[in-house]
Amino acid sequence: MLFVISIITFGIFFAAPNDPASLTCGRECTVETLEANRIAMGLDKPITVQYANMVKGLFTDRYYPDDPVLRERAPETVVVCEAPCLGYSFLKQKEVSSLVADALPVTVSLALGAFVLWMIVGVGAGVLAATRRGSWIDRGLVGAALIGYSLPTFFVGLLFLTFISIRWGWLPIPYYTPFVEDPLAWATGLILPWSALAVVLAAGYVRLSRAYMIESLGEDYIRTARAKGVRERSITVKHALRASLTPVITMAGLDLGGLLGGMIVTEQIFGLRGLGQLAIDAVTNVDLPVIVAVVLIAATAYTLANLAVDLIYGIIDPRVRHA
């Protein structure tokens, strides 16, 4: 799957009308410099060779420009991209892997923090609504979920940023501090984007977990448990919730996998320099190696999340384990 995606991404950009080499060449661009740049970037070779080089770079070192003669005579002009090499961004004069390494922690922090928040809020509210079915709490939560479900991420983000941090100054304007440096600053700096993402994403989980909780609360084994005298809290958590977790986890895996691919909108609004921002920069500048790398990372995250979901099934659902 990843293989097919990498080929398609590569193909699309090769077919793009813009010439990446012309963007690396400044105002006084001559035909010779342009051609030299094109060779340095490896764009003179046919697309299949370019693709093969890219795949090869994942396992061995790559050199830019890939010219053995130059490497011997003037090694300082050749950039060595160590394996696994994702490519070299000529626009930023940096290896793609180092660009990604800078951006990835931001995106992962954003995604994981938001994930924890929206799962707790979403599933918690869903369970609460299901156990108080028909009450005003249930109606309120379902209504709130529907509204949250209908709000676009960028609108919530912009609303939060404008009012909570700029107008009222309740929270600082989001910024990223690495977790290892200062966990507290890491959390306070990201709480706003986390909440914005959680508002939008939790809504689906309220609906889903409520629906499946109601279904499993109506099952016979719940009645049996009640008859045995099991406490209500234990029934809710151990018996009903566990049975209704499977669809929730499926959705969670897909959402998290999708998010890790770069929260373009969220990062854009809050000015956080993660994968999404990296991707936007790369797209506006036709920075091919970076685009390919980001798309591949996103697709890998999605595929891995799918795999993780399948593995978790085995843990929570005994039927899958024995099958």
Partner 1 sequence: MSESGRTKSVLTQSARVLDPSLSSTVSRTQFGLFLRRLRRDRLTVVAMVVCTIVVLGAAGSPLLQHWGVIDPIGFNSELVKGIGSLPGGAWGGMSWAHPLGVEPGTGRDLLSRIVSGLTVSMAVAILSSLLSLTIGTVLGLIAGLSKGKVDWFISRLIDLVLSFPQLLMLLTLAPVLVGVLNERLHIPDGPPSQIAFMVLVLGAFGWPYPARIVRGQVLSLREREFVEAAVSLGASRTYLYFREILPHLAAPLLICATLVIPQYIAAEATLGFLGLGIQAPTASLGSILNDSVSYASVMPTYFLFPGLVLAIIVLSFNLLGDGLRDVLDPKDNRKS
Alpha helices in 160-274 (DSSP H): 183-217, 220-228, 232-234, 242-260, 264-270
Q: Is 162 in the site for partner 1 (CB under 8 A)?
A: yes
Ordered DSSP codes for 53-77: HHHHHTTS-EEES--HHHHHH-GGG
Residues written for the chain: 323
* One residue of 100, 159, 316, 320 binding partner 1 per CB under 8 A: 159
Question: How far does the chain reach from its first CA to its final CA, in angstroms?
Answer: 26
Measured from the CB atom, the residue of 75 and 247 that comes closer to partner 1 is 247
Enumerate residues 17-76 that contact partner 1 by CB under 8 A: 17-18
86 lies in the binding site for partner 1 (CB under 8 A) = no
Residue among 109, 299, 309, 313 that touches partner 1 (CB under 8 A): 299
Which of 312, 320, 138, 130 is CA-nearest to residue 239?
130
Task: Output b/e per residue, 31-49; b: 16+ Cβ within 10 A.
Answer: eeeeeebbebbbbeeeeee
Q: Which two structure tokens, joined as six digits, stand for 139?
A: 């109606």
Is 215 a binding residue for partner 1 by CB under 8 A? The answer is yes
Residues 255-274 touching partner 1, rule: CB under 8 A, are 258, 261-262, 264-265, 268
Q: Which of residues 135-154 bind partner 1 (CB under 8 A)?
A: 146-147, 149-154
Residue 171 contacts partner 1 per CB under 8 A: no
Residue type, 211: A
Q: Does 82 bind partner 1 (CB under 8 A)?
A: no
Chain positions contacting partner 1, by CB under 8 A? 1, 4-5, 12-13, 15-18, 146-147, 149-155, 158-159, 161-163, 166-167, 207, 211-212, 214-215, 258, 261-262, 264-265, 268, 276, 279-280, 283, 286, 291, 294-295, 298-299, 302-303, 306
